[in-house]
């Protein structure tokens, strides 16, 4: 790029634009519903084999009786009930057998006259004259001079073992109601009624477009600064989940003309169009710009007082709704479910999605931005007093928040926080509430994934909450989890974890993780040196940039100890994980940092060992006897876990040794 172009790009990026006209969620829904009819699309006929998951367009009136005739429901003999009165094992009633056998599909020719019976199979047509069937087990067959007979050893009552015509569904009755989602059960009814095709609501075709110069489709290479397009995939799946048919129109660069052309094509080919990205204030945010040019009535709402989701844009181009979701994945899914799901379901003829709400206590304070209704994703846990809802604390940019959350609660637009200890109504996401058998809250580690996978195989449902060592310890003391995975270094004693134990808490040894200096391989300022020497030689150089760790983390305490008061360049950059440190060094945003060895290996970085960090578990003694806790302790001591930890470069602790 020429200097002139660069300056122009900077100018464009720095320009303030005011186009968001933020309204409440209720107002946005009202305007959108007024502009876009939320009603089922026209019907179409599909073959029975293609009807699964579709929605019935009309009530189904049974064209025939089911069963179509009076049918025997057992193998036995069709009789007149009155003939069998008083029959018993010691004195059976003898009936002469008619000369026919009513197998399934055989039309009866003979009448069952008084004193006679006809052999009949399950599913056979009950013959004229008969009013009951006697099970074969309650009879004895025989022959005498007059021919074959049957001795009836138990009296039959009228109607016994007969399914009368139309007793299942009567001709003319409504067998299935319009709007029903067709499952295997409904397919069974349709087939039993003899129908080979069915009238269903046409599936709304939903055009999906992702916008952004940085997007790469999954499967492609990821150049620096790029990210994979997750919104197209999430949106397509959510469209399907709600009865629509996704039509992917790919990724479009931040270019107004290219985007307008693609949106026009999508409008022509689909019932509604969902874009994501480029709806906010940035220079590259072009999605909303084209909407006003696509036809009337244009933009209905741009900006809703929601978090996540503020920059959502709802528009109608000629008759087609066009929705621009914010680019951030959590914002995109949230706004999709708020505004797009109800429309797709209505077009597909489905009922609005049912909402399950449970009460749970918020264990920690959750801050909120005044002016927007904030939705907080939570993970649920069980205490003796009831459910607790831990905020997941991931921003709108997170892709995992929505998949890991059990539900969400909302904080009013006028509040700046929801306080610790307050009850909240949690709206469940997904199907039902599954309270985990075991909750581990604290510091996360990939070794823990190995333990959890083995437990999962044993059918133990484990929830891990990455809330940091201190957060885990606090949650444990409040009775909100079973164990807290921690790596807390006490600066006074130089000991890990044990100094943090108190009454009612015990230490379960976990494993050791080698910590050290990470740097790009080949960097001679570090390569081949001892860690402490390397740190001493680079710490005062303003051109050699450190990526530090967050205060309170064990790694930070270790590094501060070595630095003894020095503040190298980059000291204020304090991400919260080993991975973030490794990524900053690998990508050249920093030159060195402290991380664990296996993370250094994962990122192809050089590593100078400093010491071993103890990653242990603090257990609430009151929970030790719970079966899931026992299962955890057993797995932790197993050879399989030891092998997995070794493979990851960790050294298992004492309990693991004792468990072998
Ligand atoms: N100065 C301001 N900046 C921002 C504001 C604001 O009010 N003032 N609003 C913020 C909010 S809130 C949101 S939400 C985001 C949404 O912005 P856009 O809709 O314009 O989205 P982009 O800028 O295009 O992207 C944001 C983010 O999401 C990533 N992204 C985009 N598309 C995808 C995709 N298909 N798959 C995965 N990830 C995607 C993109 O790379 C960005 O990281 O704006 C805030 N900014
Ligand atoms: O609306 Mo944005 O979604 O708050 O992050």
pLDDT in tens, 320-336: 999 999 999 989 998 99
What's the complex ipTM? 0.97
Mutate to test the pocket of ligand 1, among 328, 332, 374, 394 (most ligand atoms within 8 A of CB): 328
Pairwise CA distance, residues 19 & 11, whole Å: 18
Distance 226 CA to ligand 1 centre (A): 14
Nearest CA to ligand 1 atom 33: 327
Distance 615 CA to ligand 2 centre (A): 35
Does 396 sit in the ligand 2 pocket, CB within 6 Å? yes
Distance 323 CA to ligand 1 centre (A): 15
* Smallest-distance ligand from the CA of 279: 1
Does 349 sit in the ligand 2 pocket, CB within 6 Å? no
**Helix, strand, or coil (residue 164):** coil
In this structure, what token pair is assigned to residue 352?
A: 């609005």
* Smallest-distance ligand from the CA of 395: 2
**How many other C-beta atoms are found inside a 10 Å radius of the C-beta of residue 57?**
20
Q: In a 10 Å sphere around its CB, with 0-12 CB exposed, 13-18 middle and 19+ buried, how is residue 220 labelled?
A: exposed
According to the model, what pLDDT value does residue 201 have? 97
The pTM for the full model equals 0.82
Distance 414 CA to ligand 2 centre (A): 17
Distance 372 CA to ligand 2 centre (A): 10
Nearest CA to ligand 1 atom 44: 280
* Smallest-distance ligand from the CA of 310: 2
State which ligand 1 atom lies nearest to the alpha carbon of 251. Answer: 35
437 pairs with which residues across the strands?
A: none
**How many other C-beta atoms are found inside a 10 Å radius of the C-beta of residue 280?**
21
Does 277 sit in the ligand 2 pocket, CB within 6 Å? no
According to the model, what pLDDT value does residue 254 have? 85
**How many other C-beta atoms are found inside a 10 Å radius of the C-beta of residue 397?**
13
Pairwise CA distance, residues 448 & 445, whole Å: 5
Does 331 sit in the ligand 2 pocket, CB within 6 Å? yes
611 pairs with which residues across the strands?
A: 515
Residue 354, C-beta contacts closer than 8 angstroms, at least 6 positions apart: none
Pairwise CA distance, residues 204 & 206, whole Å: 6
Domains and CATH numbers, the chain: 3-38+204-348 (3.40.980.10), 43-66+167-201 (3.90.105.10), 71-163 (2.170.190.11), 357-428 (2.40.340.10), 436-660 (3.40.190.290)
Chain-centroid distance, C-alpha 378: 13
State which ligand 1 atom lies nearest to the alpha carbon of 325. Answer: 19
What tens digit of pLDDT does each residue of 251-292 get? Answer: 998 888 999 999 999 999 999 999 998 887 565 567 777 887
Mutate to test the pocket of ligand 2, among 310, 377, 393 (most ligand atoms within 8 A of CB): 310
Asked if residue 229 lies in contact with residue 332, where contact means CB atoms within 8 angstroms, the answer is no
Find the DSSP H helices in 223-324: 231-241, 256-269, 287-291
Pairwise CA distance, residues 534 & 529, whole Å: 6
C-alpha dist (Å) from residue 608 to 433, 491, 616, 627: 46, 22, 23, 42
Distance 191 CA to ligand 1 centre (A): 50
Pairwise CA distance, residues 203 & 580, whole Å: 44
Pairwise CA distance, residues 238 & 405, whole Å: 16
**How many other C-beta atoms are found inside a 10 Å radius of the C-beta of residue 67?**
19
According to the model, what pLDDT value does residue 655 have? 44
Backbone torsions φ then ψ of 304, nearest 5 degrees: -130, 140
According to the model, what pLDDT value does residue 281 have? 59
State which ligand 2 atom lies nearest to the alpha carbon of 309. Answer: 1
Residues of the chain falling short of pLDDT 50: 655-660
Q: In a 10 Å sphere around its CB, with 0-12 CB exposed, 13-18 middle and 19+ buried, how is residue 543 labelled?
A: exposed
Pairwise CA distance, residues 292 & 599, whole Å: 48
């Amino acid at each position: 790029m020429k200097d002139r172009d660069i300056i122009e790009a900077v100018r464009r990026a720095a320009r303030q634009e005011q186009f968001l006209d933020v309204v409440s969620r209720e107002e946005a829904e009202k305007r959108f519903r007024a502009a876009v009819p939320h009603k089922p699309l026209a019907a179409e006929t599909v073959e029975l084999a293609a009807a699964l998951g579709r929605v019935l367009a009309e009530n189904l009136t049974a064209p025939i009786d089911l069963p179509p005739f009076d049918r025997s429901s057992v193998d036995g003999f069709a009789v007149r009930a009155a003939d069998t009165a008083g029959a018993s094992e010691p004195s059976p009633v003898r009936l002469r057998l008619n000369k026919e056998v009513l197998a399934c599909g055989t039309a009866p020719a003979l009448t069952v006259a008084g004193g006679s019976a006809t052999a009949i199979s399950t599913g056979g047509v009950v013959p004229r004259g008969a009013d009951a069937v006697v099970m074969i087990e309650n009879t004895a067959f025989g022959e005498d001079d007059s021919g074959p007979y049957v001795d009836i050893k138990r009296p039959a009552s009228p109607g016994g073992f007969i399914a009368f015509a139309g007793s299942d569904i009567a001709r003319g009755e409504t067998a299935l109601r319009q709007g029903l989602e067709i499952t295997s059960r409904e397919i069974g009814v349709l087939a039993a009624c003899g129908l080979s095709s069915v009238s269903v609501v046409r599936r709304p075709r939903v055009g999906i477009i992702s916008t952004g110069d940085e997007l790469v489709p999954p499967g492609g290479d990821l150049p620096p600064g790029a990210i994979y397009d997750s919104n197209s995939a999430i949106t397509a799946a959510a469209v399907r989940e709600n009865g629509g048919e996704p039509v992917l129109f790919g990724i479009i660069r931040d270019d107004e003309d290219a985007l307008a052309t693609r949106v026009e094509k999508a409008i022509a080919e689909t019932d509604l169009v969902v874009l994501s990205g480029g709806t906010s204030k940035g220079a590259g945010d072009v999605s909303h710009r084209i909407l006003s040019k696509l036809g009337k009535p244009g933009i209905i709402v741009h900006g809703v007082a929601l978090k996540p989701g503020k920059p959502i844009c709802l528009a109608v181009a000629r008759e087609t709704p066009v929705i621009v979701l914010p680019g951030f994945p959590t914002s995109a899914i949230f706004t999709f479910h708020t505004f797009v799901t109800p429309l797709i379901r209505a077009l597909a003829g489905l009922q609005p999605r049912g909402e399950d709400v449970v009460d749970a206590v918020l264990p920690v304070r959750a801050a909120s931005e005044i002016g927007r209704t904030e939705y907080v994703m939570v993970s649920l846990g069980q205490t003796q007093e009831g459910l607790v809802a831990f905020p997941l604390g991931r921003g709108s940019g997170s892709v995992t928040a929505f998949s890991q959350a059990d539900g969400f609660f909302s904080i009013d637009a006028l509040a700046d926080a929801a306080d610790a200890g307050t009850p909240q109504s949690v709206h469940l996401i997904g199907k039902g509430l599954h309270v985990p058998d075991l909750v581990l809250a604290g510091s996360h580690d990939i070794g823990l994934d190995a333990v959890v996978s083995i437990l999962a195989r044993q059918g133990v449902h484990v929830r891990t909450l990455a809330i940091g060592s201190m957060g885990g310890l606090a949650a444990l003391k409040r009775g909100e989890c079973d164990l807290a995975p921690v790596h807390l270094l006490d600066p006074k004693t130089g000991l890990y974890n044990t100094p943090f134990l108190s009454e009612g808490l015990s230490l379960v040894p976990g494993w050791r993780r080698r910590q050290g200096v990470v740097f790009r391989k080949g960097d001679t300022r570090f390569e081949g040196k001892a860690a402490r020497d390397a740190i001493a030689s680079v710490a005062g150089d303003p051109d050699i940039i450190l990526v530090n760790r967050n205060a309170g983390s064990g790694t930070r305490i270790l590094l501060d100890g070595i630095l003894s008061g020095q503040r190298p360049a980059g000291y204020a950059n304090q991400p919260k994980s080993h991975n973030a440190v490794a990524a900053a060094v690998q990508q050249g945003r920093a030159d060195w940092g402290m991380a664990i060895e296996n993370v250094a290996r994962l990122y192809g970085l050089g590593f100078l060992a400093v010491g071993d960090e103890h990653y242990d578990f603090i257990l609430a003694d009151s929970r030790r006897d719970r079966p899931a806790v026992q299962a955890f302790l057993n797995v932790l001591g197993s050879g399989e876990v030891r092998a997995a930890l070794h493979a990851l470069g960790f050294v298992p602790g004492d309990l693991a040794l004792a468990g072998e």
